[in-house]
Amino acid sequence: MSVNDTAAALPAADGEALPSRDRLPRQAVRFGAVALLWLAAAGVTALWPDADEWERTGEFASLLAVAAGILAVAASLAAPLTAAPGGTARPAPRSRLSHAAGRLADSMPWLAVLALALIGWEVLTAKLNLLPRPFFAPPQALLEVYLDDWPRLLDCFAASLTLLATGYAIGSLLGIVTGVAIGWSRAVGYWVHPVLRLIGPLPATAWLPIAFFAFPTSWSASVFLIALASGVPVTILTWSGVAGVNSAYYDIARTLGASPRFLVTKVAVPAAMPHVFVGLFMGLGASFAVLVVAEMLGVKSGIGWYLQWAQGWAAYANMYAALLVMALVCSGLVTLLFRVRDRLLAWQKGMLKW
């Protein structure tokens, strides 16, 4: 069976009335063209000799070729699925596959631009040597870092994530507790609010010199700084969330026999959750910044330290390689936070999508 058969069987031979006949080749052509672009990137990398010797040119070209191959296979699988709606054989797996195919089709323009950018980068650096070295490394130099220096990179990311998780967990937890306490108790608000107003706007990095002096290890100092950076926005937003809870919610619970503890844990905290998540998001961003600065200045491991170390040795490829992974990791952490939020706040309508 083919789409052409169906088209022939239909009485109206008008091209517009038969989108499937028209869309199948066009979709396939688009997918194919993008695959060809990636193949072109592989070709340029492999066949055009480097201006200087680069170690991993061959591997990089192979990687591009593999990407082109994957795209070609995906294209040949996906094109008919996105083009011909309505099931003939197996509807259930088909609809799932065509969903994935639709997403792939959506990312085609990006994949095309990415291939072109890689070609441009490759030509300007490795092939023509037009950009000043060592500041501009070719893509195969990054690949070289991933292939040769991955144990150290992995160590650094593990160290960074441990530090970040420790500081962020302490900061968020203390932030939520403090925020609820300020929002709930007049006495706590009286004493903590002025302190928060004074210290809150101060960037956590301003505490660096004192922290490294006051704490026994630079690691514990960094935990303190990250906790401070993430804790302040969490505190303020939790507080504003608790303060903004509709007082009728409390009246309802009180007339139904709720204890003060119930009012805090089952009314104030859930009602404030949307605000708390804004604070957690802001705190996460702040904690990334403090993490890198703290590692650059004090801690002898972690991704900030790696960046600093790479720059010291003029190993710019290592720096870019680390930055790229770091961007992916940070973005992944934010995505994770938003996923948790979407799950916990499923009751809200019209949420911002990350």
Partner 1 sequence: MVALETTVTGPAGTAPRAAGMAIDVRAVSHRFELHGAPLPVLDGVELRVEPGELVALLGPSGCGKSTLLRLIAGLEPPSSGRILADGRPIGGPDPSRVVVFQDPTLYPWRTVRDNVALGLEARGLLRSQGRRVEEALALVGLTGFAKAYPHQLSGGMAQRAALARALVNDPRLLVLDEPLGKLDSLTRLAMQSELVELWRSSGFTGLLVTHDIEEALFMATRVIVFSERPARIKADLPVDRPYPRHRGDPVLTELRHRILELLGLAETW
183: left (phi over 0), alpha (psi -120 to 50) or beta: alpha
For position 349 contacting partner 1 by CB under 8 A, the verdict is: yes
Task: Single out the residue of 249, 297, 308, 342 in contact with partner 1 (rule: CB under 8 A).
Answer: 249
The DSSP 8-state label assigned to residue 131 in this structure reads S
Q: Is 352 in the site for partner 1 (CB under 8 A)?
A: no
CA angle 165, 166, 168 (to 5 degrees): 65
Smallest gap from Cβ 333 to partner 1, in A, equals 25
In angstroms, the CA 155 to CA 275 distance is 35
What secondary structure letter does DSSP report for 56? Answer: T
Q: Which residues have CB under 8 Å from 279's CB, separation 6+?
A: 175, 179, 233, 234, 235, 236, 237, 238
Tell me which stretch binds partner 1 (CB under 8 A): 21-29, 97-105, 108-116, 248-256. Answer: 248-256
> According to the binding rule CB under 8 A, does residue 251 interact with partner 1?
yes
b/e 122-156 (16+ beta carbons within 10 angstroms → b): bbebbbeeeeeeeebbbbbbbbbbeeebeeebeeb
Query: Which member of 12, 47, 256, 352 binds partner 1 (CB under 8 A)?
Result: 256
Q: Is residue 152 within the footprint of partner 1 (CB under 8 A)?
A: no
Binding residue (CB under 8 A) for partner 1 from 173, 192, 253, 289: 253
Q: Which stretch binds partner 1 (CB under 8 A): 12-20, 189-197, 200-208, 254-262?
A: 254-262
Residue-wise burial string across 275-305, b where 16 or more C-beta atoms lie within 10 A, e elsewhere = bbbbbbbbbbebbbebbbbbbbbbbebbbbb
| Contact region with partner 1 (CB under 8 A), list: 79-87, 97-105, 115-123, 266-274 | 266-274
186 binds partner 1 (CB under 8 A): no
**Minimum distance, C-beta of residue 264 to partner 1, in the bound complex (Å):** 12
**Least Cβ distance, residue 343 to partner 1 (angstroms):** 12
Residue number, 125 or 238, with CB nearest to partner 1:
238
**Residue 257 lies near partner 1 (rule: CB under 8 A):** yes
Is the Cα dihedral 148, 151, 157, 160 positive or negative? negative
Per CB under 8 A, 266 contacts partner 1: yes
Site string for partner 1, 287-326 (x = CB under 8 A): ----------------------------------------
248 binds partner 1 (CB under 8 A): yes
273 vs 299, which CB is nearer to partner 1? Answer: 273
Q: Which residue has the tokens 């928060």?
A: 196
Which of 90, 347, 352, 353 is close enough to bind partner 1 by CB under 8 A?
347
Phi, psi torsion values for 113, nearest 5 degrees = -65, -40
Q: Is the dihedral of CA 26, 27, 29, 30 positive or negative?
A: positive
C-alpha 349/C-alpha 39 separation (Å) is 44
User: 181 CB contacts (<8 Å, ≥6 apart)?
Assistant: 188, 192
The least distance separating partner 1 from the CB of residue 175, rounded to whole angstroms, comes to: 20
Q: Note whether 185 binds partner 1 by CB under 8 A.
A: no
Toward partner 1, which CB reaches closer, 30 or 254? 254
Q: Which residue lies nearer to partner 1 by CB, 152 or 254?
A: 254
Q: How far apart are CA 99 and CA 105, in angstroms?
A: 10
Supply the minimum distance, in Å, between the C-beta of residue 227 and partner 1.
28
- Interaction of residue 23 with partner 1, rule CB under 8 A: no
111 burial level (CB within 10 Å; 0-12, 13-18, 19+): middle
> 187-246: which residues touch partner 1 (CB under 8 A)?
246
| Distance of alpha carbon 100 from alpha carbon 91, whole angstroms | 14
Residues that bind partner 1 (CB under 8 A): 246, 248-249, 251-259, 262, 266-267, 270-271, 273, 345, 347-349
